[in-house]
Structure 1
Amino acid sequence: MAGKKILVVDDDPKNIFALVATLRAKGFTTASANSAEEGIAILLRDTDIGLVLLDMMMPEMDGYQAISVIRAHDSLRSLPLVAVTAQAMKGDQEKCLEAGADAYISKPIDVELLLKTLTRYLN
């Protein structure tokens, strides 16, 4: 699964740290951003990003807005986006998928589910 980087976008540094540490321990290359705006800037300049783990609840620009901006770029339209959120209420998964996310993972993150999801979209 080497080759493509995983971009972690989350406004909480602790979440980024934990997710990046988990991914790197499993052999993945990562990049991270503290905001949706920073994540989009990275996506527009780094063609090695193969998948985005996107927090849906961020200040300024939330994950739903970020998905809309990302999908508006032809070069990013088919990039796998995985919504990561603490919102695990009925209907939240559907809302994320309808917004344009390819998959949905709730926090706290189930590492096995995360790895299955990454394998599915990076292969």
Structure 2
Amino acid sequence: MGIKKMILIVDDDARNIFALKLTLQAKGYKVITSQSAKEALELLLAEDQIGLVLLDMMMPEMDGYEAIGMMRKVEGRADIPIIAVTAQAMAGDREKCIEAGANDYISKPIQVDILMDVVREWI
């Protein structure tokens, strides 16, 4: 299977980060976390092992839509898969996330089997 790339979890809620991190680490993935989009952008620049971003769309200061646009401009990192994670699971939300530049979409509460399918597809 080779070396699994690192997954960056970006969420302003520490409980969400904790649950996602625990789940992904149990499956053998390396995980780093950020509680803000600004910090996530800095991590993308600094850490070249990141192979996937799980990005909460509803965060203070900079929301996921704005963050995706900025992540797509990071030199050498524009093609990194970004998975939008949102509790806003209403009609049109998936399309809105994809239009903003996300590669895929997961709704909260996150179901582990769906999460793992999406992670395996993109990493």
State the TM-score, normalizing by the size of structure 1. 0.96
Structure-2 residue corresponding to 1:4: 5
**Deviation digits for residues 33-89 of structure 1, max 9, x if unmatched?**
010001110001000000000000000000000000011123111100000000001
Output the CA distance in 2 between the equivalents of 1:3 and 1:112. Answer: 18
The residue type equivalent to 1:68 in the other structure is: G
The residue type equivalent to 2:57 in the other structure is: M
The residue type equivalent to 1:38 in the other structure is: E
Output the CA distance in 2 between the equivalents of 1:116 and 1:27. Answer: 14
Output the CA distance in 2 between the equivalents of 1:92 and 1:105. Answer: 10
Alignment of 1:1-123 (within 5 A): 2-122=3-123
State the TM-score, normalizing by the size of structure 2. 0.96
Q: Hey, which bits of structure 1, 4+ residues long, moved more than 3 A?
A: none
How many residues get paired? 122
Output the CA distance in 1 between the equivalents of 2:20 and 2:83. Answer: 13
Partner SS for 2:12: coil
**Deviation digits for residues 10-51 of structure 1, max 9, x if unmatched?**
000000000000100111110000100011100010000000
Partner SS for 2:94: helix
The residue type equivalent to 1:58 in the other structure is: M
Q: Which has the higher helix share?
A: 1
Q: List alignment gaps of at least 5 residues for structure 1.
A: none
Output the CA distance in 2 between the equivalents of 1:3 and 1:59. Answer: 31
